[in-house]
Structure 1
């Protein structure tokens, strides 16, 4: 960030927190992105540990975890159906990893000098790994359960034979696009929200520094927009985690039941 100029993309910069570590041609230095992923993993583990007490009369912590598990079980049961119970641990981990990552990314830690959050889900590398890993599970499950019959997924029931040369390529392309749309949707939603917050934040600072009659007005209006966008971001954090987990469940339904 140069003097007098705020770069809204600076918040997404991946910076090493240790001395550079190289493994051959690869840089495996511990970065701020890796740090926040570790933080998310630890928070998720601590949260789930409260549900391992198995008390007959659950406390608030255990009740919260049981409610979370019930929510995922209901999603899996509705979306995947029979045989979907075994995928519940993965969907649970996926949903709450994304949710906690999203929420941590909007924490206002920047009000403390030297601290700021890092939204790992605002990086396409992270969302792409999650999306392609989920897609790989769909492929493994589909071929393991059905073998070559899995390709019948691209042949809709009841479609006339003379349309197959058109329908099959369209179905195949729409199937292969799934991981790209899955990863891009989360990446774009989180990145756009953080950029908006940074832009309106710069308007507040510049409005206060501008002086005159118009400067404070711009600052106040921008601050109101920050409050509104922040509230919307909290909603988007939950929605995007839910959509990612739900679509993964629906893709697993196709792998398990074909149609």
Structure 2
């Protein structure tokens, strides 16, 4: 059963990352339980769709604040695509825009107190990165066929070091899926852990009372500053993940 105490009273900064089954389900021995991870992932998707639906409804020539924000997201993504992929990347814009939006909403929803940050789990970030990685390789094979394997052998390499170069290129190519996922996971986890530690410190000073009741204003100001910083990081990490996706996609299209 779901323990409500675990949601509101966290003893450790790391307990906020605990995956809690909300609706235990098992089909043919396969665990398909609804957890806080899947719940907040679905919530992020629903919120993004709902927000875009509201923005699209009754568009105006002079945009409202919500419409301007939506157009800002669009401009950021289309600029990423054009700068890194050129005109050929416009065909992949819906895919890239979806990635940016989902990661951004998952990051921002995780900033709400007592919510859950989906992107703080390596299982989610790696699964997303691996899915993108598989898709990019499929695009590479469809575009170049068997010549796609030449991506592991740069031109002009002397014959006697070909095996070494191919091995290095192959490892560096595989590592991409780990670097893109660990970057997002590590930044979100470390940021939320620090916020929890500072918040716990503030609460402890308030509980002690006396002169600490006035001194707690110092860590409280720091906490507010960190919240602002973490919101900025939420946008930045969504941008970086999307940027790296564009770069990796361009690599398989252009065969650098």
TM-score (norm 1): 0.87
For structure 2, the residue ranges without an aligned partner over 5 or more in a row are: none
Alignment check: 8 A CA contact 2:122 2:182 kept: yes
Aligned to 1:256: 253
Aligned to 2:201: 203
Aligned to 1:165: 163
Provide the C-alpha distance between the structure 2 equivalents of 1:157 and 1:33, rounded to a whole number of angstroms.
Answer: 45
1:233 CA displacement:
0.4
1:34 aligned onto 2:31: no
- CA deviation vs aligned residue, 1:146-196 (integer Å, no higher than 9, x gap): 112111112223444444333221111111001111111100100001100
1:7 aligned onto 2:12: yes
1:225 CA displacement:
2.1
1:29 CA displacement:
1.7
1:49 aligned onto 2:53: yes
When the two chains are superposed, the root-mean-square deviation of aligned CA atoms in Å is 2.3
Provide the C-alpha distance between the structure 2 equivalents of 1:157 and 1:165, rounded to a whole number of angstroms.
Answer: 14
Q: Which of 177, 180, 183 is matched with 1:179 structurally?
A: 177
Aligned to 1:193: 191
Alignment check: 8 A CA contact 1:81 1:253 kept: no
Alignment check: 8 A CA contact 1:142 1:150 kept: yes
Provide the C-alpha distance between the structure 2 equivalents of 1:222 and 1:63, rounded to a whole number of angstroms.
Answer: 35
Label 1:5 to 1:90 Cα distance change in 2 as closer, same or farther (>3 A): closer
Provide the C-alpha distance between the structure 1 equivalents of 2:44 and 2:137, rounded to a whole number of angstroms.
Answer: 28
Aligned to 1:113: none
Aligned to 2:138: 140
Aligned to 1:112: none
Label 1:208 to 1:66 Cα distance change in 2 as closer, same or farther (>3 A): closer
Q: Which of 221, 230, 235 is matched with 1:233 structurally?
A: 230
Provide the C-alpha distance between the structure 1 equivalents of 2:83 and 2:108, rounded to a whole number of angstroms.
Answer: 26
Provide the C-alpha distance between the structure 2 equivalents of 1:256 and 1:27, rounded to a whole number of angstroms.
Answer: 39
Aligned residues: 249
1:224 aligned onto 2:221: yes
Label 1:54 to 1:76 Cα distance change in 2 as closer, same or farther (>3 A): farther
1:26 CA displacement:
2.3
Alignment check: 8 A CA contact 1:50 1:65 kept: no
Provide the C-alpha distance between the structure 1 equivalents of 2:127 and 2:30, rounded to a whole number of angstroms.
Answer: 17
1:223 CA displacement:
1.5
1:31 CA displacement:
1.7
For structure 1, the residue ranges without an aligned partner over 5 or more in a row are: 110-115
1:68 aligned onto 2:65: no
Q: Which of 125, 128, 136 is matched with 1:127 structurally?
A: 125
1:24 CA displacement:
2.4
Label 1:192 to 1:218 Cα distance change in 2 as closer, same or farther (>3 A): farther
Label 1:54 to 1:89 Cα distance change in 2 as closer, same or farther (>3 A): farther
1:224 CA displacement:
2.3
Provide the C-alpha distance between the structure 1 equivalents of 2:56 and 2:195, rounded to a whole number of angstroms.
Answer: 38
Provide the C-alpha distance between the structure 1 equivalents of 2:109 and 2:48, rounded to a whole number of angstroms.
Answer: 12
